[in-house]
Structure 1
């Protein structure tokens, strides 16, 4: 009966027709209701125009259409409907299709996202009109434009004022805006606490962005007590609300068990959602997750897909990871050319390790001459631009004739330029000075450069400097300092240093003899394949030089040394075979 009376009343006035249309929608006859709204809107009623625009934007009773929605919103806004002005401001802010001509309204073609063009000036105009009319949502929107719009439109003080008016009216977006303004301006704990309090009001109202920001403050302990569990819970709420950055943070928290129980499966799910929404860090983390295995089985093909997604968004480490997959043939045929391409992309984006990877590829036997020439040109260009790692690699190319003509003089010049910032270059420039390659020989300067690299912790440089100190080349002899350097390098796993330290401690040098320690370091070197270490360990065990005699083990080590072509090992074995007893004191060090 109500519907019949409504239909009868609709014959007499636009207001009655509007009421009848709304009743049809309320009763479930959405298509008929929106159609009737359209006829009322065509007659010029602003509220009906607004509601028709809303229907097109939401796809309620009509196919969704940004263009049609904006057209009707504009008509309602021009007629003074406040809410339409606020919505139109939002549409202009995030982008509408270009207008076909000035004053002809919104173009009624091509609604693809790429066809949309933001217009912050129009957005500000319509938002301000609605804000001045008292709309709290519009006040928050206008504040946002003044706070985060184009630089020439920004007015932080005015933005704070509009956010305050919106917040005073109970608008969550106003509290969010104030929280952002105060967070940016905070210089002490009180400022951060003020921002956090405003963000909490917005977060409690369900705004995902506020939940994410409050989570970040809680994780860092800025303005609120540091609380990993509370931060992760806030990230989870924001993730559920669709905030991409929160989905990535929540996924990482689940992966690491930070503030929650560790759950690799849920972590993967949230990281995937963030990555598909365009978060490059999440995509890179997924690549790491699938490449490393652990909780999930290794899947290099899946890893490569996520790395490619992150790399396409400019993620340097993901380009390097793709290069490593191509270089090692993980989940794909080995492709050195592709590895070179990926490492170059990573280096161009600032990944310092990728420059070293490219340098290592120069010596890879599978690198084609074309690739070496390309690498040489790349290093030359980057070196000229001031990249010290590229200068080092360019010097190697010139020194060894890799992808270009050999030029040792130019190599020395580029190595010197690299030496100010690259430890490896300090070592190699020192070697060039010692050997007189591409420059005049200068043992003192060479030793000085090698010392710089040794002080920086480079094991090969520590070994080289120790040898110079043993012989007194380029400076004074200092066997005690040499022993310290050998030990430092040996503790980094440098096998030659292990043998040399054993030899130094075994006697005949200006350091206290310590044969048990000498045997220890000979064993360390021998176990890592050092032929002379195997010889000396065999001799020590055969003669009991460190207090323990073991002819059987001695024979094993001597055989291994002999197999590597050490003549003295073969001679020791020959004496053993002849039944000769240990020759006390022979060859101690």
Structure 2
């Protein structure tokens, strides 16, 4: 036969002419229902029209359609069969579904396809949609996305919401054509208006990905609002962006921050969405939100969700502090010290100069570690002229600010009379302050003092207590000495199991004294 449009020779069962793309129709062999009165035929037509309307409903799914088909009885099936054999396309499609699901009759996929194809020839939208799905999946026919798209488009033009939705999916995925957002949006709007719930969800995803511009007037804003209110974090993020930049809405920093926070709340429930949360925090920080600036500073300082970057940490701490956030001020000095340490490691003189500026800024804020760093440079003469007087000044300033290492080091200088008048009482006081702050070396030093009684009254019990504090923190020398205390019963009840346990920990870390005791008293070789 020939195509009626372009006269190209085509096979009799081709649905479309490959040359011009026009649909070809096979003339339906319709015949009246033999022996039936016009009233009976009209009654039957109304019944089938009602049945097909259930399946054409916008909210109908394959599952709900199959459930409807399977609920039919023998009398209804017989009416569908008689009408299908008389050429009624609606009945042909209903019969094809019965054969496909094995309802009333045995399941017969080939017969199901034959009846569906006959209904397709006559333009039944549901049949067009089913045949399109077959061509898209290559189910029973050779996969042909071009043919699938043509069939979906015919069914979509006829107003079938399911076909409109699937055609939109094809447009978005580039199946059978290049990705066409504009056409996809057109069909999704039609499917949504036809009652298909998932059409609005996919339309919202398009709006999130492409922005409000894809929908006319207030429609995009309203859609994003509905979707965001329903808890969609991406919709809330896109809506926030719109308010931040005035895209489709009146620019509003307040509304932007509100929706960014809503987006973060949504992302917080998803372990895989840390990057999206940080993007929202970044946008909020750029809008001047102090809490977001502080959060970003913490992320950059610790490398949490982003690459560790002390310079960025300082930048955001400073901005948060400038915006009046007290906890940012409290962390800013520490950030200055961390950045200074990074700059010094680069061994670049410009970086070193900047590092000293940062350390002095932190020291001026009363940060003890910054004072200690400056003191260390003056002690060692690294990057500055060695100056013991300045070193001691900065060390004391750090100790007074509560830096445990500075307190411990100052105690050592007093104990040894190194640059200071030897003063055991002063040394003990600084050791005590550092130990109270949880500094393990100071706790160990106090343990030694009380164990030997050289600078203090001998007190084995207090000695064991301080040694235990340091040992619990992993201080190896304290573990070794505490093991001896348990073995000899010095300051603690004698306990060989505890003694062996602490000696083993110290030996594992390489302490040779612990190794010798294990070998001598427990017969354990630990090298």
TM bracket, shorter-chain basis: 0.3 to 0.5
| Rg comparison, structure with higher value | 2
Q: Given the two structures, how large is their TM-score scaled by the length of structure 2?
A: 0.43
Q: Given the two structures, how large is their TM-score scaled by the length of structure 1?
A: 0.39
